[in-house]
Amino acid sequence: MPTTPRSLRDIGSYHAHVYYDDASRARAAELRERLAERFSVQLGRWRDAPTGPHPSAAFQVAFTPALFATLVPWLMLNRAGLTVLVHPNTDNPHEDHATHALWMGPPQPLKLDGLPRSLRAAGMPPDGVAANTTPHLADTI
Ligand code: ZN
């Protein structure tokens, strides 16, 4: 255990990765639409093949720390049997995925080798959130 607890200020944003396959893609599409109707988030592209550390087809939902307390419980209730990986975005993507992630549904083996241990050291910008949804049902969550 570190001698000094880390601050929540280390977390710039979060990702939820919604995993799907051919049989569950329609459910994933419905979940994606429901998310967009309710939350101001950045929805990533459909990734129909494994991408980066993710072993399955998935789409990404980037969101601010302010949304964690509503978006994550909403996903718990509405993920429709889909596996969802939620991880913080700090300076260390490797730890964010390997150590700090939470899973809804069965955990999947991630490919961690390509993930940097410091974005700053790698000269990479931190992950941000550029919301691209226009929620109109936010009052129903
Ligand atoms: Zn991610």
Provide the sign of the torsion angle of the four alpha carbons 54, 41, 67, 19, taken in this order: negative
DSSP characters over 28-46 = HHHHHHHHHHH---EEPPP
> Helices (DSSP H) in the chain: which residue ranges?
25-38, 68-78, 93-98
Distance between Cα 90 and ligand 1 center (Å):
11
Q: What is the pLDDT of residues 33-60, one digit of tens each?
A: 999 999 999 999 999 999 999 999 999 9
Distance 105 CA to ligand 1 centre (A): 17
Tell me how far the alpha carbon of residue 94 lies from the centroid of ligand 1, in angstroms. Answer: 10
CB 89 within 8 A of CB 141: no
Q: What is the pTM of this model?
A: 0.94
Q: Ligand 1 centre from 1 Cα, in Å?
A: 25
For the chain, residues with pLDDT lower than 70 are 2
d(CA 111, CA 27): 25
